[in-house]
Chains A and B, each alone.
Chain A
C-alpha cells in the first residue's frame, strides 16, 4: 500500500495531501459552523479566530516551543474567555451582544499583538500566512511514519476533525436542545452555558488548527458558508450536517483544482467555491430559493387566473343564461396579458373548457365541476364571514375571492354544515350544491 503510494508521481501525492488538508479543515469547520448558523452567532467564529492570538503567544512564551498541544490549549482557553467576556459585557455593561463581541475580540487581538512585540519578537510571523494561509506549502513540512511522509498540517487538521466528530457524536443531544431551546435545557439540568462554552472551545481549536492552511479570514468562510448553504437545502439537523460536510469536501477539491488551474491562492479558491455554492443554494433551493419561490408564485398566479376564468363562465351562465363567451371578451374580463393567454391554453389542454368551431369558449363537464367547487367555496365563505363574524356583505367579496383558491372541498363541507346548508349567499346568489339535481349540470352530460 505504502509502496504503491510512494510510487505515485510526486505532484499527484502532493495534490492529494493538499486536498486532504483542505478537506479536513473545511469539514471540521462546516460541522461546527452548522451550530453557529443555527444559533445565529455566525460571526463569533470571526471573533474567536482573532481573539485566540494572545492564547497562542502565551502558550509560546510559557513553553518556549511551538508544540501544538499547549498552543491548542491556549487557544481554547481564549475561545472560552471570548465567549465569557462577551456575555459579561453584554449583561453588566448593558451593551448589545454584537457590540460587546466587537470590543472583546479586537481588544484581545490587540493584546496578542502587544505580547508578541514585547516578549516574543523573535517569532516569525508572516502577515500573508496569518490572513490567507499557505495551504500550498503544507506538503513541504512533513513527518515520517516509516516510509510514509505525512504533512504536519494534516496531522493537526485530521486530529481536529476527529475531535470535532467525537464532540458532536457524544454531545449530539445536548448540542441540539441547547441550540433549539436553551431555557428548557437549563431547566432540565443540561447547562446551556456549559454547552455553549464547550462549543466555543471547539471552534477555537478548529480555527487554530486551520490557521496554517487557510489563515484567519478564510477560516470564517469555512465556518459559515457550508452550514448556511445546507440550511437552505434541508430541514433536518442530521441531513444538514451531512450536506454541509459534503459541500465542504467538494469546495476543498474544486478549490484546489481551481487554484492550480488559475495559478492563484488555493485557500482563496476554496472560499470562493463555498460562496458560489451558497449563491446556487439561495437561487435554486426548492423551498427557500429565489427561483423556487418565483416558480411557485407563477404557478399560483396561473392557477388563480384559470380559476377566475372558470368562475366567470359559471356566473355568466347563472346570470345571463349564456353558456359560452367569445375568447376576446373573456380575455378582456380577465385582463389581457401573457398570464391570461397561458392560463387559457392550460384550461383548454386540460379540457376544462372547450372551444366551438366559431372560437366561443364554454365549460366542459369537468370544468363545470371545478367551477361549482370554486363558486361554492366563495359563497360559503362570504356567508360565513357575514353571518358568523358579522362583517357587512359589501366587504366580504374581496376576502372570499382570495380564499376560494385555497379552500378545499372538505373545509367547504364543514362550513356548509356549520352554517346549516344555506341556500344563498349574503348577496342573494344561490350556493351551488354538490348534489346532482343541479339544473346546470343536467343540460350537458359530464365527460
Chain B
C-alpha cells in the first residue's frame, strides 16, 4: 500500500482538477460499492454487492461463468442499469467522477473490422476529457502516441485494427485506457486469449499502474494465475463470497463456496423457476 502523503502528490500531479485533489486529501477510498443489485428481466444477476477497494491495489474479480463479473463492472460504470445501490468514486457518485475511471472492455465487445487504425482507437480514450463536440488536439494525439509506446505498439499506430493479432488488439485497448489518464481502471478479462509476450506486458503495466497509486479492478477467469497477478481478490457469484488480500481469500473453503455446491443449487433454482414460468 502507498502512504497517504505520496498518494496525495501522485493524484495532484496527474489530475489537474482542484476538486480531485481536495478529495484525495480528504481520503475517501477509490471505489465504494454499496448494496448493488442488478437484474435482467426481473431475474437478479447481482445481489447486494458491497465492497470497498483500497488505493494502489490490483484487485482480481474471480468467479464462475455467469457469476456476474462483467455485469458488476458495467453496472459500476453505469452502462447497465442498477436496480438498487450506489457506486462511489473517491466518495462521490460515479456520474460526477467518471473522468477518474478508465475502462478496458472485453475484446469481443467491439467490431474489429471497424474502419479505424490503432491510433484512432487510442485517441478514443481522450474523448471523455475532451468533452462533447470539441475536437481532440495535437496534445491529445501526442498523449495517445505515448500510450501506444507504453504497450510497445507504436509501430502499429497506422495499422487497421483487424490486421492486429489478438494480443496486439488487447494492448491497443490497454493503451486506450492509459490515454484516459484515470485513477481507477476497470478491466474485463484483459488476459483472455493473449500471447505470452502480451501477458508479460500487461502484468508489468499493471505493476506500473499500482506503483503510481492507481487502483485496478480486473475481471479474471484463471484461478491458477490469479494468485500471482493480484493483491486482493473479490470472489463473486451473484453475491460477494469473499473479499480481501489474495492469500487469505483464495482458500479452498472460499473457492468451494464460489464454484461449488452453491452454484449447483442456484442453477437448480433457476431452472425450476424457468420451468414454473412455462
Contacts and interface: CB of A to CB of B under 8 A. Distances in A.
A176 interface: yes
B124 A184 contact: yes
Contact of B128 (A38, A190, A235): A190
Interface string A180-207: 1101111111100000000000000000
A237 B128 contact: no
A189 B98 contact: yes
Contacts of A180: 110-111, 114, 116, 121, 124
Q: Which 8 A-B pairs have the closest CB atoms?
A: A188-B128, A235-B160, A187-B77, A186-B79, A235-B115, A237-B115, A187-B103, A177-B124
Interface in B87-139: 95, 98-99, 101, 103, 105, 109-111, 114-117, 120-121, 124, 127-128, 130, 132-133, 135-136
Contacts, number: 80
B15 to A, nearest CB: 15
Nearest to A180: B114
A187 B101 contact: yes
A5 interface: no
Given A170-B133, A237-B115, A240-B115, A186 B41 contact: no
Interface string B129-166: 01011011000000000000000000000001010000
Contacts of B136: 173
A188 B133 CA distance: 14
B74 interface: yes
Contacts of B103: 183-184, 187
B78 interface: yes
Given A170-B133, A188-B128, A190-B132, A183 B115 contact: no
Contacts of B128: 188-190
A186 to B, nearest CB: 5
Nearest to A40: B111
Interface string A334-368: 00000000000000000000000000000000000
Nearest to B163: A235
A177 B110 CA distance: 11
A236 B116 contact: yes
Contacts of B116: 176, 180, 236-237
A235 B162 contact: yes
Nearest to B74: A183
Interface of A: 38, 40, 94, 170-174, 176-177, 179-181, 183-190, 231, 234-237, 239-240
Interface of B: 41, 74, 77-79, 95, 98-99, 101, 103, 105, 109-111, 114-117, 120-121, 124, 127-128, 130, 132-133, 135-136, 160, 162, 176, 180
A181 B101 CA distance: 16
A203 to B, nearest CB: 20
A367 to B, nearest CB: 32
B191 to A, nearest CB: 19
Given A180-B116, A231-B115, A237-B120, 16 more contacts: A40-B111, A94-B41, A174-B132, A174-B133, A179-B114, A180-B114, A181-B105, A187-B77, A187-B103, A188-B99, A188-B128, A190-B127, A236-B116, A236-B160, A237-B115, A237-B116
Contacts of A185: 127
10 contacts: A38-B115, A40-B111, A176-B120, A180-B116, A180-B121, A183-B77, A187-B78, A188-B98, A231-B115, A237-B115
A40 B130 CA distance: 28
A184 to B, nearest CB: 6
Contact of A183 (B79, B114, B162): B79
Contacts of A40: 111
Nearest to A170: B133
A236 B117 contact: yes
Contact of A236 (B95, B115, B135): B115
B174 to A, nearest CB: 13
B83 to A, nearest CB: 14
Nearest to A189: B98
A182 to B, nearest CB: 8
B79 A187 contact: yes
A185 B124 CA distance: 9
B227 to A, nearest CB: 25
Nearest to A190: B127
A201 B101 CA distance: 31
Contacts of B110: 180-181
Contact of B115 (A94, A186, A234): A234
Nearest to B136: A173
B105 A188 contact: no
A177 B160 CA distance: 16
Contacts of A231: 115
Given A236-B116, A236-B117, A181 B132 contact: no
A177 B127 contact: yes
Contacts of A187: 77-79, 98, 101, 103
